[in-house]
Chains A and B, each alone.
Chain A
Amino acid sequence: MGSQEFGIDRRGFLRIGLGGIAGLGMQNRLPMPVPRVNGGINLQPLRRLDPGAGFAPPLILPELVDAQLRALYELGFQQIRVTLSFDRFGPDFVAAIPYVRAARALGMDVLGVISQFTGYDLVQAIADPATRDEVLETYLRIFGDEVPVASPAISALGAFALQILNEPTHFLGIAPDAYVRDFLRPAYYHLKEDDPAITIVSAAAIGSATGLLQTREMIEAGLELYCDRVAFHLYSTEFLAEVAVLAAKPVWITESGARGAANHREWMITEFERIRREVPATERIFWFDLFDLGSEGFRLIDLIPTLAGFETVSESAAALAWLRSRVEEAMAGAPAIPYRELVPDVTLYFPTDEDFRILDATSFGPAPWRS
C-alpha cells in the first residue's frame, strides 16, 4: 500500500493533511491544541543529519528539532520515547534536551531512555558507586525539571519517565539477571530517592523469541521489584500469550512496528489492538519510529534538507492518514492552534547556561566542545 492509493504524492500528503488542521476553524469555535490521541512513538534526538559533522557548529540544528516536534504535535502523539544518550554528557546528551523540553511543553509525556548509542561508558558509570549517583542525578536535573507549558491552552505539562537501558543483553552483552542486579536495582533506588514520583520503566529485551526468554530471566531475577512499568518490544504478535502472563505490573510496549511503509497502517490498527486485547496490562504502545535514516523501514516521515531548513514529507501515507483522521475526529471541527504559535522559537528549549553549568560541574566536564 502506498500514497498513490490516496491519490496524492507522498511529499505532498503531510503538508496537505497538516494544513487541513489549521483550516478547521470555519465553525467559529475557539482554537485548541491538537489533541493527544495517537499513543506513543519513538523519536530519534538527532542534532544534525550529517553523521560526519562531529562537533562542527552548529551542534544542534534548530530546524531539525523543529521539524520533528512539529510532526509529533500535528500528528497528535500522546507520548514520545527518546534516547538520552549519556555520551559522558557530550553532544548527543545535550541534543536530547530540546526534544524533551519542547515535547513536554506541548503536553506530550516523555519516556527518556538512559542509554548510550555506542560504548560502555554509561553502564560503567552506573555500575561504579563513585559515579552512579552523580550520573543519575544529573539526568534528573537536566530532564526532570519542570518547564513552562507552551501555552495556557495546553492543559498540563507532559510527564517525564525514565527507562533504564535499551535491550541490554542484545546491545551490550549484559546477562539478564546482571541487568536487574547491577543496573536496574541501583538506578531505581537512586532515582526514586531523588524523585519519588518518577516512573521507572525496565529495559525491554529485543523484540524476538530470544527477547521473550531473556525477559523471563529478568523477571525471575526480580525485575518487577525495581521498576514501575515493565517494557517489551514487540515486532511480532507470535508470543502475545506468553507476554501476557509474564508481567504482574503494567506493561509499556516501548517499541513496536512493522517493516515497510505498506505495512505500517495495518500494524497500527490491527496489531496494536490485538496487543491491547491479548496483553491486557498494556498501558502504552510506542510506534517505532517517527524518523530514522533507513528508508523502507519503520519511519513514518522523511526529512529532506532544504535551503530554509527541512521539508517534512510523508514516508508512510496510509498510516499518517489514519493518524490524521483520529486527530480530526477528536477535534470535532474545532480549529487547531498552529505549532508555530505554540513554539515560535524552538531554541527556547535548547540547553541553557544553567544546563552547561550543571554538566561542567560533574566529574565528566567541562568538555572542550562546549566552549
Chain B
Amino acid sequence: MALLKASLLAILAGAGSEEPEYPLGPLRLPPIAEEATPFRIADLRYAFTEGTDDGGTLSSFETRVRAGGRLFAGGEVIGDRIGLFVDTQRIELGASEENGDYELEGSFRAPWFVLGARAFHEEGEWAFATSASVRFSNDLELLVSNSQDLDESAFTPSPVSDFAESGILPPIGPPSRELRATSVGLLYQRENHLEALAEVRASRVRTEAGFDLDVERYRLATLWNPERFQIDGGLSYEKTSGRLAGRELTATLGIDAEVNSHILARASTLQRWEPGVLRFEEDYRFGATFFGRRHRFARRSEASARVLELQRKANALGYNERRVYDVEGLRRFRERLGISPARLELKDALDELYRAQVRDRNVPQLGFEVELGENSILTVERRGYRAFVGFPWPLRLPFLPGEEAVDFLQADFIVRHEDHAGGVRAVSREVSLTAFLNREMSLFFRWQDPGVAVEAVILERSLPSRFTAGFEYAMGR
C-alpha cells in the first residue's frame, strides 16, 4: 500500500522537469529505462458505463505495473471478464476468463522473427490463431497468419415439433464465422515517408445458414507522406466461391493536406462494388482541423527521425522492432526497449524520442468532419456531422495559436442520420468531454443517444442512452 501511495505521489508531483506546462504542472521525464523497485504503476484505467445494451451498468478496471527492470505485469476486470498478462521484451503472455470462456495468448520476439499464438475456448470448443513475422531487413517483413476453429458443427434449426411442444421460438444459428484462414503478406517501410502492404488471404467461412464458402482476398495498401500532405489508399479484391459465388472490390483513398502551418484538411472515400453487377457502398468524408501549434505529420516530425534511428539500432541489437508512429504504438515501442537487456544503452535515445514526441505534439483546437454515405444493399443513406472544440493549456480561446499549448479540454459533438427505405430516419447523437490533466492523465465523460434505429421502429424497442465516465493514467504516453 505504501508503495502504491509512493508511486501515485510520484506520478502527481512529477519526478523531473520537462517542458511544457500542464494543468497539473510540469511533467517529469517518464522513467522508461529505469528499473522499478520493486514496481511502478504504468497504467491505471477505470470506466463506468450506465446504459449498456441490456440496460445495465458496466465497470472496467485495468492496471499494469512495471516490476523490476525487465517485466510488465497487469490485470483487468471488465464486467465479468478477468484477465492477467505479463510482458517482457521478448515474451508476452496473457490469459482471461469470462463466464466459463477462456482466451490465452502469447508471443515470442526473436531477433529476426516474431511468433504469436492465441487460443479461445468458447462454449466447449477451441479456436486457435497463430501469426508470425519474419524480418528480412529493417524495412521489409514477411507476415504470415493462420487460424483454425475446431468447432466445425453446422447449425441445424430445431424441428417445428419442438416449437409446438415448448411454444418457445428456437434460437437462431451462430453468425457466419471463419473455420480456417491463412494469410501471407509483405510489409515494406521506406524510411518514414512510405509504407506498403501486399497481402493474400484464403479462408473457409461457415455461414449462418450452415453451408461453407471459400473466400480469397488480395489486398494492397499504401501510405505516402511527402512534406505537406499524406496519401493513404487501399485496394482489395475478394473472390467468393460456392453457393454465394461473387467478387467484390473495395477501394479506399484519403488525403491529408496542410492548408497552412496550422490548418489540416482531410478528404477520404471508400467504394465497394461487385464488378459487372453494382457499386453497392460509397462513403465520402471531408473535414478540417485548426491546430494551436504548428501542425506536424507524425512521419515528418523530429520524433519520426528518432524512431528510424532507434529502430535500426534496436534491430542491430536483435530486438526486432517495427517502426510505428501513433502515440500508443510509440509508447509500447519505448516500453519494450525500456525493459530490454540493453535498456541502459538505449536510455538516452528513448528519452530523446519521448522529448521529441512532446516537442512535436499536435494540439487540435477546432475542427469539423462531414460524412456522406450510402449502402444500397441495406437501402440506407448516411449523413454524419462531427465538430469539436479544444481549449488548450495555458487557457486561451480555441482559435488562437500558441506554441506553448498542450491539450487540456476537448468537447466533441457527433450527429448521425440514417435514412432507410420506408421513410424511417434514425438519428444518433454523441457528446463527449475530455480533460487532459497532463500528457499521461485524463478524465472523460461521454453521453451517447443511439436514437431510434430502423429495427427499433419496427420492433418497437428502444435502446437506452449511454453515459460513460472514466479516468486514465498511462505513464510515458
| B208 A220 Cβ-Cβ under 8 A | yes
A residues neighboring B (CB under 8 Å): 120, 123-124, 127-129, 169-178, 181-182, 185-186, 189, 192-193, 196, 209-210, 212-214, 216-217, 219-226, 239, 242, 245-246, 248
| B155 A170 Cβ-Cβ under 8 A | no
Q: Which residues of A contact B207 (CB under 8 A)?
A: 220, 222
Q: Which residues of B contact A127 (CB under 8 A)?
A: 458-460
Asked if A239 meets B277 with Cβ closer than 8 Å, knowing A220-B208, A222-B173, the reply is yes
In the complex, chain B residues 149-180 whose Cβ is within 8 Å of any chain A Cβ: 155, 157, 160, 163-164, 169-170, 172-173, 176
| A123 B458 Cβ-Cβ under 8 A | yes
Complex CA gap A246/B246 in Å reads 11
Shortest C-beta distance, B365 to chain A (Å), equals 39
Nearest B residue to A192, CB-CB: B160
B residues neighboring A (CB under 8 Å): 155, 157, 160, 163-164, 169-170, 172-173, 176, 207-210, 243-246, 274, 277-278, 280, 376-380, 420-422, 424, 454-455, 457-460
Q: Provide a sorted-by-A list of 19 A–B residue pairs whose CB atoms are within 8 angstroms.
A: A120-B457, A169-B379, A170-B379, A172-B422, A173-B379, A173-B421, A175-B455, A185-B169, A189-B169, A189-B170, A193-B160, A193-B163, A209-B277, A220-B207, A221-B209, A222-B157, A222-B172, A222-B208, A245-B245
Shortest C-beta distance, B205 to chain A (Å), equals 9
| B421 A248 Cβ-Cβ under 8 A | no
Contact of B160 among A175, A181, A189, A219 (CB under 8 A): A189
| B376 A196 Cβ-Cβ under 8 A | no
Q: Which residues of A contact B245 (CB under 8 A)?
A: 242, 245
| B422 A171 Cβ-Cβ under 8 A | yes
| A224 B379 Cβ-Cβ under 8 A | no
Contact of A181 among B172, B243, B278, B422 (CB under 8 A): B172
Nearest A residue to B460, CB-CB: A124
Complex CA gap A174/B454 in Å reads 7
Contact of A222 among B210, B274, B277, B421 (CB under 8 A): B210
Asked if A219 meets B278 with Cβ closer than 8 Å, knowing A173-B421, A189-B170, A214-B377, the reply is no
Q: Which residues of A contact B424 (CB under 8 A)?
A: 173
Complex CA gap A189/B421 in Å reads 27
Asked if A212 meets B210 with Cβ closer than 8 Å, knowing A170-B379, A181-B172, A185-B172, the reply is no
Complex CA gap A177/B459 in Å reads 14
Complex CA gap A12/B210 in Å reads 56
| B422 A173 Cβ-Cβ under 8 A | yes
Nearest B residue to A185, CB-CB: B172
| A248 B458 Cβ-Cβ under 8 A | no
Contact of B380 among A173, A178, A212, A217 (CB under 8 A): A173
Q: In the complex, given contacts A216-B246, A219-B243, what are 20 additional A-B residue pairs having Cβ atoms less than 8 angstroms apart?
A: A123-B458, A169-B379, A172-B458, A177-B208, A178-B455, A185-B157, A185-B172, A189-B160, A209-B278, A210-B280, A213-B280, A213-B376, A213-B377, A220-B244, A221-B208, A222-B172, A222-B208, A225-B155, A239-B277, A246-B243
Complex CA gap A202/B274 in Å reads 24
Asked if A213 meets B422 with Cβ closer than 8 Å, knowing A127-B458, A245-B243, the reply is no
| B458 A213 Cβ-Cβ under 8 A | no
| A242 B246 Cβ-Cβ under 8 A | yes
Chain A interface, DSSP helix/strand/loop, else mixed: helix
Complex CA gap A351/B209 in Å reads 40
Q: Which residues of A contact B210 (CB under 8 A)?
A: 222, 225
Complex CA gap A346/B169 in Å reads 40
Asked if A173 meets B176 with Cβ closer than 8 Å, knowing A120-B422, A210-B280, A219-B244, the reply is no
| A220 B209 Cβ-Cβ under 8 A | yes
Q: Which residues of A contact B173 (CB under 8 A)?
A: 222, 225
| B208 A173 Cβ-Cβ under 8 A | no
Shortest C-beta distance, B471 to chain A (Å), equals 38
| A213 B379 Cβ-Cβ under 8 A | no
Q: Which residues of B contact A248 (CB under 8 A)?
A: 243
Shortest C-beta distance, B264 to chain A (Å), equals 36
Complex CA gap A239/B245 in Å reads 12
| B459 A182 Cβ-Cβ under 8 A | yes
| B160 A173 Cβ-Cβ under 8 A | no
Nearest B residue to A182, CB-CB: B459
Nearest B residue to A247, CB-CB: B243
Shortest C-beta distance, B381 to chain A (Å), equals 11
| B454 A224 Cβ-Cβ under 8 A | no
Nearest B residue to A189, CB-CB: B163
Shortest C-beta distance, B154 to chain A (Å), equals 11
Nearest B residue to A193, CB-CB: B164
Q: Which residues of A contact B421 (CB under 8 A)?
A: 169-173
| B422 A128 Cβ-Cβ under 8 A | no
Q: Which residues of B contact A174 (CB under 8 A)?
A: 454-455, 458
Complex CA gap A129/B163 in Å reads 13
Asked if A213 meets B277 with Cβ closer than 8 Å, knowing A174-B454, A176-B377, A186-B169, the reply is yes
Q: Which residues of B contact A245 (CB under 8 A)?
A: 243, 245
| B274 A124 Cβ-Cβ under 8 A | no
Complex CA gap A216/B424 in Å reads 24
Q: Which residues of A contact B422 (CB under 8 A)?
A: 120, 171-173
Asked if A173 meets B454 with Cβ closer than 8 Å, knowing A210-B280, A219-B209, the reply is yes
Contact of A220 among B176, B277, B278, B457 (CB under 8 A): B176
Nearest A residue to B162, CB-CB: A189
Nearest A residue to B240, CB-CB: A216
Nearest A residue to B157, CB-CB: A225
Asked if A213 meets B169 with Cβ closer than 8 Å, knowing A173-B454, A193-B164, A222-B208, the reply is no
Q: Which residues of B contact A124 (CB under 8 A)?
A: 458-460
Complex CA gap A213/B277 in Å reads 9
Shortest C-beta distance, A188 to chain B (Å), equals 8
Among all A-B residue pairs, the 9 with the closest Cβ atoms = A173-B420, A209-B278, A222-B209, A173-B421, A173-B422, A192-B160, A172-B422, A189-B163, A127-B459
Shortest C-beta distance, B52 to chain A (Å), equals 21
Complex CA gap A216/B244 in Å reads 6
Complex CA gap A221/B377 in Å reads 14
Nearest B residue to A126, CB-CB: B458
Shortest C-beta distance, A359 to chain B (Å), equals 23
Complex CA gap A190/B176 in Å reads 25
Nearest B residue to A213, CB-CB: B377
| A217 B377 Cβ-Cβ under 8 A | yes
Complex CA gap A128/B457 in Å reads 12
Complex CA gap A170/B160 in Å reads 30
| B377 A223 Cβ-Cβ under 8 A | no
Nearest A residue to B277, CB-CB: A209
Shortest C-beta distance, B248 to chain A (Å), equals 10
Q: Which residues of A contact B459 (CB under 8 A)?
A: 124, 127-128, 182
| B209 A212 Cβ-Cβ under 8 A | no
Q: Which residues of A contact B376 (CB under 8 A)?
A: 210, 213
Shortest C-beta distance, B453 to chain A (Å), equals 10
Q: Which residues of B contact A171 (CB under 8 A)?
A: 421-422
Complex CA gap A221/B176 in Å reads 8
Most buried by A among B377, B380, B455, B457: B377
Shortest C-beta distance, A168 to chain B (Å), equals 9
Complex CA gap A222/B174 in Å reads 10
Nearest A residue to B170, CB-CB: A189
Shortest C-beta distance, B434 to chain A (Å), equals 34
Nearest B residue to A178, CB-CB: B455
Shortest C-beta distance, B178 to chain A (Å), equals 14
Shortest C-beta distance, B176 to chain A (Å), equals 6
